[in-house]
């Protein structure tokens, strides 16, 4: 029996973020990197997300609640100039 045969797993995919790499429940919206991220994924009500713990990138529906992304690394690290 496949995992997707259980309705609870399917409902969880559409309602909460769980990283497939580290099983963390903290994820945030990732920047669009390609044409598909910007234009094709939204047609299927999907968006790119990133795990806050292991930084693995994946795709989740718009219905999944995500944390706010912390400031960019450029802002956190002072310039060497």
Taking only the tens place, the pLDDT of each residue in 17-57 is 888 888 888 999 998 999 999 999 999 999 999 998 999 99
CB atoms within 10 A of CB 62: 12
Domain extents in the chain: 3-68
Instruction: Please give the pLDDT value at position 79.
Output: 53
Give residue 22's pLDDT.
Answer: 86
Whether the pTM exceeds 0.95: the reply is: no
How long is the chain? 81
Question: Tell me: the pLDDT tens digits for 57-77?
Answer: 999 999 888 887 766 555 545
DSSP readout, 26-53? -EEEPPP-SHIIIIIGGGGTEEEEEETT
The pLDDT assigned to 72 comes to 57
Q: Is 76 exposed, middle or buried (0-12, 13-18, 19+ CB in 10 A)?
A: exposed
């Amino acid at each position: 029996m496949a995992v997707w045969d259980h309705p609870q797993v399917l409902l969880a995919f559409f309602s909460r973020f769980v990283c497939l790499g580290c099983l963390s429940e903290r994820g945030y919206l990732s920047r669009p990197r390609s044409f598909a991220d910007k234009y094709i994924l939204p047609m299927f009500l999907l968006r790119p997300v990133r795990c806050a713990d292991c930084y693995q990138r994946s795709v989740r529906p718009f219905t999944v609640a995500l944390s706010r992304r912390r400031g960019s690394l450029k802002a956190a690290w002072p310039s060497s100039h």
